[in-house]
Structure 1
Amino acid sequence: MTDVRDDLNQVLDQLGQMGGMSSEKEAVIITMRDQLDSLIRNPELFSRVIDSYKMNVSALGTWIMQVIEQPLQIDAIYFTSPDTPAPSHHAGLFSKLAHEAKKLYYSFIIDYNVIGNVADASEQSETITVWIGSGRDQANVLKKLADENFTYETGINVNVELVDINTLLQATLAGQGPDVALGVANDWPMNYGLRNAVIDLSEFEDIHSIQDDFFESAWEPYVYQDNIYGLPETQTFPMMFYRRDILAELDLDLPQTWDEMKVALSVLSKNQMDLGMLPSEQTYSMLLYQNGGEYYEENGIRSAIDSEEGIQAFREFTEFYSDYTLDRETNIEQRFRTGESPIIISDFTTYNNLMVSAPDIRGLWGFTTVPGTVREDGTIDNTVTTNGIYMPDGRTSSTAAVMMEGTSSKENSWEFLKWWVSEEAQTAFGKELESLMGAAARYPTANRHAFENLPWPTRDYQALSAQMENLRGIPQVPGGYFTWRNVNNAFYRTVVNQNMAPREALTEYVRYINDEINHKRNEFNMDILTSP
C-alpha cells in the first residue's frame, strides 16, 4: 500500500507540472491516496472501509481510461512574437451579459430537440419525422447516415428529433407523435398495436423479404395473432463471464451444466467467493425454457408457468438464492472485477463495460455460453432469452422500431424502416458509434448479418455465435406485464419471507396472472379463460 501511495503522489506531481495547476481531474487520485494513507496508519480499518475501497479502485480504473482517450479541444490558436503578450482569454462582464442574453433569445426560437437540418414545409409530402431517445451522439449519427444514404437514394427527407421516448404515449394521445419511433421497449409494440396506436407492418407485402435478416427469437415479442407491430432493432442475451486467472488458481473447470455450476459453487464458497447472477426475468426465463416450459398456452389465453416444467424451473431458480445464498442485489460487474465473483451470468453488453472500465483485469477474463440443462438424450440445452423486460440495472434488453398510426406518409415511413434495419445501415451505425464513443458503445444490433460485420475479436464472436444458436424470445400478450411481476412476488414469498414452498407460491400468483390476462382480453373483446 505504501508503494502504491507513493506512485499516486508521483502521478499527482507530474499532473501538476504538466497542467501548471490542480484540477477536478485529480480528485479521484487524491481520494485513493488519502484512503491509502489512513490504511497504512491503521490496517485494521480495512474491514470497515472495504466497500468504499472497491469503489475507489473502480473509479481509478475508469479515470485511467478517460485520461488515455481524452480528446484535444482547442478554442483558438495565437501566433505572436516572444515579446508580445497573448490576448486575454477572459471575457468581460458585458461580453458575458451579451452572451447570456443571446442564449435566452435563441431558446425561444430554436428547437433543440431537432438534429441537423430541417426539411422545408414545401417538402412535407416527402418528409418524415423520426424520434429517437437513446442519446445525442446516436441521433447525430442517425441523421448523418439518413442524409448521406437514405435521402440521397430515395429523395425522402428525414427530420430526426431527440426526445425522451417515454413521452411517446402522451404525444400519440395528443396527436403530436412522429411518423417513426426508434428504440422503444420490446413490450410497447404489441400494447400500442392492440390500441391502434402503431401500424400492423404485415400489411406491407415485402416484409417477408427482411424477416430472414433476424433470428426468429427477435420477432417473437413484436408478433401477435399474425400481426407484426414492430421491427427488431437491438437484441441482447446473457453470457457467462469468467476470470481465467482465478479459476486457474482454484484449479476449477468452467461449468457446462447447472449441476456442474452447483459443484463449482461449493468450491467458490470455500474460498469466500460466489456466482454473480441476479434474480431477473432473463435468469428465470432461461431456466424455464431449459426445463422445457413455456410462458403461455392456447395462444396466450392463460399462463403456462404453473406446469410441472415451470414449477421445476421456479424451484431451481429460488434454490440459487435460498440454498446457495447468491446475492439478490449487488453490483456483479464490480464483484467480478475484484474477484469476489469470478463467474457471473450477465447480459453480453457487460463486455463493453468491462473493456472500458476494468483495464486492471484486461486479458484475465473471457465469456462463453451459459450453463445448460441436460436433456434426456444427453445433449445440453443452453437456451437463453433475448428480451426480458425487467433487467437488474433498469435497461431494456432489446428495442424495436415502430411506425405510428398517425403518420401521413406510410410508404415513406416503411421505406425508412426497411433501410434502418438493413445490414448496411445497421453496420454503418454500429461502426460510426464505436469510432465516436469507443468500445463502450458497441451496438447490439438485431440484424444477424450486421452483427457479423462489427469488430468483435474472433474468440469472442465465436462464443457469441454459439449462444446465438440457442435463443428464445418472450412472447407478449395482453396483460403479460403481470407475469414477471407476480413471479417476482412468488420469489420473495419463497426466498425472502420463507413462508411458502415454491410450488404453492407460484400456483397462488399464477391466478393473478390469469385474472389480468382475462381482464385485458375482455377489454379487447377476445376470448377469455372460462375455467381456472
Structure 2
Amino acid sequence: MKLNIKMRKAMTLTLAGLVLIFGVNLLIHVFNRETPNPTFIEYETSAQSGSYAAFLKSHAQTYANDENHTIPAPSFVLEAGETISVGGFYDWVNPTQVQIELNGLNTGLYQVFLTYQAKSDNYLPIVLALTVDGTSPYTEASQASLDTYWIEADDTVRQDRYGNDVAVMKATYDQTVRKPLKDPNRQYAEGLLVYLTPTSNTLELNKVSGDLKLYSIELVSLDTPESYETYKQGATLSSIETKRIEAEEVFLMNHSSITRGISKDIGVLPFSISKLKLNVLGTENYQEPGDAVTWIVDVESPGYYQLSFKVKQNRQKTTSYRTLYINGELPFEEAKHLPFTFSRSWENVTLKDSEGNPYLFYLSPGDEITLMVDSTLFIEVARKMRQISDEMTQFGLEVTKLTRNNVDKNIDWDMEAYFPDVKVKLENWRDGLTEVITVLDTLYGFKGDSKTVSDLKAGRSKINTLLNDVDEIPRRSTLLSTGSSSAVTLISGQIDVVLQQPLVLDAFFVHGKTSLPRPNAGFFESLSIGIQRFFASFINPSYSEGVEDDEIEVWVNRSRQYVDLIQRITDGVFTEQTGIKVKVSIMNDDGKLLLANSANKQPDVALGVSAWIPNDYGMRGMLVDLSTMPGFEDTLKVYNPEQVVPMIYDNQLFGLPETENFYVLVYRKDILDQLELNVPNTWEDVLDMLPVLERYGMSFYVPLSNNSALKSFDTTAPFIFQYGGKLYADDGLTAAIDNENTIQAMTFMADLYREYSLSYQVPSFFNSFRYGKIPVGIADFGMYLQLLNAASEIKGLWDIALVPGVDRDGRIHRDMPGAQQASILFKKSEKQDDAWTFMQWWHSTETQVLFSDTLINTLGTRYLWNTANIEAFEQLNWNKAHQSIILEQWTHLREVPKIPGSYMVERELSNTLNSVVFYDANLRSTLTDSILKMNKEINRKMLEFGYVDTKGVPIKPFVIPTRDIVLRWVNDHE
C-alpha cells in the first residue's frame, strides 16, 4: 500500500513536471521571440596574391562575352597510350593530362563546364589541376574539384528490431551530369572562371584524384541572371492545392555525408511516439559551403507557384543562407541569397523578397529543385578573420623568439624598441575585428550576439588589454596567441563556423494562396504526447537493457550510427549464417564496464574499448583468455604481431585489436617546394630543415607538442625504441630508463625544444598545418581524416610519407605505436562459445571489408574505417599511394608492453622531460630520482599480483609481453 502511494506521488510529480516544462517552453517562445532583419552587405578585404579572390578582383572590370565552345572527347589531346572509349568518352582512371586547343577566342572570362560520370567503384573526390598554356591562373586551380552525386540505394527506409529507422545506404549516381569546375572549398557557386584571350593556345586538366568518364569540356560565357522583376512578368499564381514534399526524400545529393536525421518533434513526418524516425534533413550535415540536395517536384501542370520550407535553424542569433536552382539554373538573381533565420521552433518560411512579397517560381511536371548551401556572403569575412589570426600568430612567434618564453616579472621589456609598429598592428587587428563584427551583425540581423560574434568581441577585448600596456605582451602571451582562450584561438575557432550554414528541413510546400499546415503542435497536444512518451518508456523494448535467453549481448563504445550498422549486418549476415542471435547496444563510456562486471550486468562481448582495457581487466580476472578458444591462432594471422602485444598479460590473450591508429609524416608539398626542402627521412634530416623553417616563422610538429602536460607513451616511447632504448629490465620487475640509449633518446627529445626551438605546445596541429604555420609533422589517423574532409582549401597540396627515424644498425628505425580500440570477451558470460564465434566473425577480413563499405555507402566518405585487420585494410578503397605508405609504416609498429605499474613509468618519463625542458633540470639526476619512484610503484603492484614477496624477492617469473609470444602462438598451430 505504501509503495503504491509512493508510486502515485512520483507519477504525479512527473506529470506536474512535464506540464511545467511545456509551459515554460511556451512562455520562452512567446516572450523571447525577436524579429530578425538580415541585410545583404558587400564587404571586401585584401586578397592574398595568387589566390582566386585576387584573380576575381583583378578582372572585376572584365566584361562577359557571348561565346560558348564545346569540345567533345574525340577532340581531346591525350597523352601517349591513352585512347577514347567506345561511346565517345575518355575513361579517366590514370593520373594523366587532358588538353584542349584554343583557337582565337574572344577576350573574356569563361566558366569551365564538364560533362562526366563519376565512377562508382572509387569513393575518392574528383580533383583536377587546371592550367592555361601550362601556367596555373591562381592557387585554387591546382586543386579544382568536381561534384560526385549520390542517390539512396534503398527504396525504403529499413527498421531495426525495435522499429527504429536505420540509416539508408547510398550509391553513386550512375548517369552523366554537366557541372562547372569548382574551387576546392566549393565557396563560389558559379564555379571557377578562367581569363582567355585570342593568344591563349591550350587549356589543360591534370587528374589529382578520383576516377570519371569524361564526355566533353565546355567554355561558357558567364551570364548574369535576370532580376525577379523581369522573371515574374505576366506571372499568375496557380490555384492548386498545397503539395507537401518530404525534405529527407531527396533525389540527388552532391556529398556522401548528407544524410537523413532524426527529429522527435510533433508534426515532423513521419512521426512516432516511441520510435526513432529518419524524418528530417540537415541535423548533422548539409551545412558546408556548396552542399546541395535536389528534389523532383511532380506538379500536375505548368505554372507559377510559391515555395515554402518547414525549417528549424538551430544556431542562435544567426541567419543561414541557401541558393535555389530549378533544373540546375538560377531562376533569377534574388534566388542566390535566401535567408533562414534562427528560431527556437519549426517555422514555415515562404521564399520572399525584402519587402515581404512571396516569390513566384515557374514549375513544370518533373522539374528538379536544388537547394545549395550559400556561403558566398561570408567568404570575405572568413578571409579577414584568417588574415588577422595568421598575423597575430606570426607576431606571437616573433615575441617568443625574442623572449625565449622568459616571463620573469623583474625584466622590463621595451616592446616598441624591438617592434616599432606594435601599436599599429594591434590597432589594425582591433579595427579589423570591429569591421567583421559589424558585417556579421548585418548578415545575421539579430540585436543579440551570436556565439561567433561573442568570441570575436572577446578576442577584440584581449587586444585592447594588450594595447593598454604593450610592454606586458611577453607576460600576456595567453591573451595573444597561446592557450585555449587566446585571441588567436577565439578567432581561428570561428573561421569555419562562419562559412557553415546549418539548417534542418522537415518538408517543403509547392502551393498557391492556400494556407500552410501549422508547423508546431499546440500546448495540449505537446503535453499529451509527452505523457504518452513517458509511459511508453516503461514498455518500449529499445529502452530495456535485458536480452533474450537465446541472444548474446554486445556493447559497442561508438555512436548510434555505428551501432545501427553493426546490428544490421549482424542480423543480415552473422545470424543468417550461424543462427546465433545478437543484441547490439550503445555503450557511451567504456569505463562503465568495470561497474557492470561488478554488478553482474556485463555484456558477453564489448567492442570499441580502449586498447589498455584488455590488459588491465585481464590481469584482474574479468576476461576470457582468448588463447584457450578454438581457432584463435587463425584469427591472429590477420594482424601484425606487435598489434596484439598490448592485449597480453602473463602469456594470456585478453583482447583482439579492432581499429589501428597509424602515424605518418604529413607535409605541405607547395610549401616545401617553395622553400626547396626535401621530405625528411631521418631525424638528422629534420634537424637540417629546421633552420630554414625557423627563418620563415615555421616549424616542425612532433606529438610531444600536443596541448597536454602529460607526455604519454605514444609520444615518448617511439624515440626510446628508435634509439634502441629500454623501458623495463629483462625480468620486468624494475624500470630500465637509465639505459644509455634511453638517455640518448631523452636528450634528443629535450634538445628539440631547448636547442631547436620547437613549439612547446601546439593547440591544433591541424589548423597550423592547413594555414601553413607548421607545414610538416607527424600526424595520426584522426588528423589524416581531418585533412581529407575538413581542409578542402589545401586539397592536393599535401601528402604523406614514412615517419622520420634513427639511422642505426644499417637501417632506419621508424618505430611508432598504433593501438587504438579492441574487443573483449567477459569471463562471466554464460555464452562464451557463441560470443567467441561472433568475435571471430566480426574480426574476419570479409566482415571488416563489408562493414567499411557499408559505413561509407551509408554515412559518407568522412567515415573511413581504420580496421586493424591488415588483410582487410589492403582491400579498402582508399588512396592507393597513401594506403601503401600506411601499410609500410605498420611494418615499423612497436607497442609499449604493459606491466603492473607501467603507468608510473609513463608518468615519470613525462615529468622528467618537462623538468628538463621547462626548468633546465639535469637529465641524468632527474632520471635517477624518477627511477626510484617507478620501481617503488612497480614493486607495489608486483606484490599485489603475487610476483614478489613483501621484501621484493621474486616468487614467480614475470614474462614481458612481446611479439615473439604471438608468433609462437601462430607458428605452433600451423
Superposition TM-score, scaled by structure 2 size: 0.49
Q: Which residue is equivalent to 1:304?
A: 736
Q: Which residue is equivalent to 2:755?
A: 323
Q: Which residue is equivalent to 1:146?
A: 570
Give the number of the structure with larger relative contact order, counting CA–CA contacts within 8 Å between residues 6 or more apart. Answer: 1
Per-residue deviation, 1:478: 1.1
Cα displacement string for residues 258-281 of structure 1 (whole angstroms, at most 9, x for unaligned residues): 011011111111111111223143
Cα displacement string for residues 316-349 of structure 1 (whole angstroms, at most 9, x for unaligned residues): 1121122223223221111111111011112133
Q: Which residue is equivalent to 1:161?
A: 585
- Matching of residues 68-83 of structure 1 within 5 Å: 75=506, 82=512
Q: Which consecutive residues of structure 1, in runs of 5 or more, have no partner in the other structure?
A: 388-397
Letter in 2 for 1:287: F
Does structure 2 conserve the Cα–Cα contact (< 8 Å) formed by 1:61 and 1:359?
A: no
Q: Which residue is equivalent to 1:365?
A: 798
Name the CA distance, whole Å, in 2 between partners of 1:215 and 1:415.
Answer: 22
State whether structure 2 residue 948 is matched by structure 1 residue 527: yes
SS state at 2:583 partner: strand
CA separation of 1:180/1:243 partners in 2, compared to 1, >3 Å: closer, same or farther?
Answer: same
Does structure 2 conserve the Cα–Cα contact (< 8 Å) formed by 1:315 and 1:503?
A: no
Does structure 2 conserve the Cα–Cα contact (< 8 Å) formed by 1:178 and 1:407?
A: yes
Q: Which residue is equivalent to 1:348?
A: 781
Q: Which residue is equivalent to 2:649?
A: 224
Q: Give the number of the structure whose alpha-carbon radius of gyration is greater.
A: 2
Q: Which residue is equivalent to 1:127?
A: 551
State whether structure 2 residue 428 is matched by structure 1 residue 43: yes
Q: Which moved more, 1:290-299 or 1:11-20?
A: 11-20
Per-residue deviation, 1:23: 4.3
- Matching of residues 245-264 of structure 1 within 5 Å: 245-264=670-689
Q: Which residue is equivalent to 1:501?
A: 922
Cα displacement string for residues 21-54 of structure 1 (whole angstroms, at most 9, x for unaligned residues): 3348999976973994997996354795777567
- Matching of residues 386-465 of structure 1 within 5 Å: 386-387=818-819, 398-465=820-887
Per-residue deviation, 1:14: 6.2
Name the CA distance, whole Å, in 2 between partners of 1:316 and 1:511.
Answer: 23
Q: Which consecutive residues of structure 2, in runs of 5 or more, have no partner in the other structure?
A: 1-43, 48-52, 58-186, 190-288, 290-319, 324-333, 344-372, 389-424, 433-459, 464-479, 705-710, 955-974
Q: Which residue is equivalent to 2:524?
A: 94
Name the CA distance, whole Å, in 2 between partners of 1:369 and 1:113.
Answer: 47
Does structure 2 conserve the Cα–Cα contact (< 8 Å) formed by 1:54 and 1:338?
A: no
Letter in 2 for 1:443: W
CA separation of 1:251/1:58 partners in 2, compared to 1, >3 Å: closer, same or farther?
Answer: farther
CA separation of 1:341/1:77 partners in 2, compared to 1, >3 Å: closer, same or farther?
Answer: closer
- Matching of residues 100-111 of structure 1 within 5 Å: 100-110=530-540
Name the CA distance, whole Å, in 2 between partners of 1:90 and 1:192.
Answer: 50
Cα displacement string for residues 226-263 of structure 1 (whole angstroms, at most 9, x for unaligned residues): 20011111111321110111111111111111011011
CA separation of 1:370/1:527 partners in 2, compared to 1, >3 Å: closer, same or farther?
Answer: same
Does structure 2 conserve the Cα–Cα contact (< 8 Å) formed by 1:384 and 1:470?
A: yes
Q: Which moved more, 1:301-310 or 1:129-138?
A: 301-310
Letter in 2 for 1:311: I
Does structure 2 conserve the Cα–Cα contact (< 8 Å) formed by 1:132 and 1:161?
A: yes
Q: Which of 128, 137, 146 is the matching residue for 2:561?
A: 137
Q: Which moved more, 1:175-184 or 1:28-37?
A: 28-37
Letter in 2 for 1:145: I
Q: Which residue is equivalent to 2:715?
A: 283
SS state at 2:341 partner: coil
CA separation of 1:464/1:229 partners in 2, compared to 1, >3 Å: closer, same or farther?
Answer: same
State whether structure 2 residue 381 is matched by structure 1 residue 33: yes
Q: Which of 199, 202, 205 is the matching residue for 2:630?
A: 205
Q: Which of 341, 363, 367 is the matching residue for 1:22?
A: 341
Name the CA distance, whole Å, in 2 between partners of 1:52 and 1:341.
Answer: 19
Cα displacement string for residues 149-184 of structure 1 (whole angstroms, at most 9, x for unaligned residues): 111111111111112221111111111111111111
SS state at 2:779 partner: strand
State whether structure 2 residue 701 is matched by structure 1 residue 270: no
Cα displacement string for residues 407-439 of structure 1 (whole angstroms, at most 9, x for unaligned residues): 010101100111111111211222222333333
Name the CA distance, whole Å, in 1 between partners of 2:597 and 2:321.
Answer: 57
CA separation of 1:103/1:250 partners in 2, compared to 1, >3 Å: closer, same or farther?
Answer: same
Name the CA distance, whole Å, in 2 between partners of 1:180 and 1:215.
Answer: 23
CA separation of 1:128/1:346 partners in 2, compared to 1, >3 Å: closer, same or farther?
Answer: same
Q: Which residue is equivalent to 2:45?
A: 2
Does structure 1 conserve the Cα–Cα contact (< 8 Å) formed by 2:321 and 2:340?
A: no
Name the CA distance, whole Å, in 2 between partners of 1:400 and 1:74.
Answer: 38
* Aligned-pair Cα RMSD in Å: 3.3
Letter in 2 for 1:316: F
Does structure 2 conserve the Cα–Cα contact (< 8 Å) formed by 1:61 and 1:358?
A: no
Does structure 1 conserve the Cα–Cα contact (< 8 Å) formed by 2:647 and 2:656?
A: yes
Per-residue deviation, 1:204: 1.1
Tell me the number of residue pairs that the alignment of Structure 1 and Structure 2 aligns: 508
Per-residue deviation, 1:476: 1.0
Letter in 2 for 1:310: T
Does structure 1 conserve the Cα–Cα contact (< 8 Å) formed by 2:45 and 2:380?
A: no
Letter in 1 for 2:793: D
CA separation of 1:186/1:299 partners in 2, compared to 1, >3 Å: closer, same or farther?
Answer: farther
Q: Which residue is equivalent to 2:20?
A: none
Letter in 1 for 2:572: E
Name the CA distance, whole Å, in 1 between partners of 2:643 and 2:821.
Answer: 10
Q: Which residue is equivalent to 1:295?
A: 727
Does structure 2 conserve the Cα–Cα contact (< 8 Å) formed by 1:241 and 1:368?
A: yes
Does structure 1 conserve the Cα–Cα contact (< 8 Å) formed by 2:378 and 2:498?
A: no
Does structure 1 conserve the Cα–Cα contact (< 8 Å) formed by 2:624 and 2:825?
A: yes
Name the CA distance, whole Å, in 2 between partners of 1:213 and 1:291.
Answer: 29
Name the CA distance, whole Å, in 1 between partners of 2:544 and 2:554.
Answer: 10
Superposition TM-score, scaled by structure 1 size: 0.86
Name the CA distance, whole Å, in 2 between partners of 1:510 and 1:113.
Answer: 50
Letter in 2 for 1:286: P
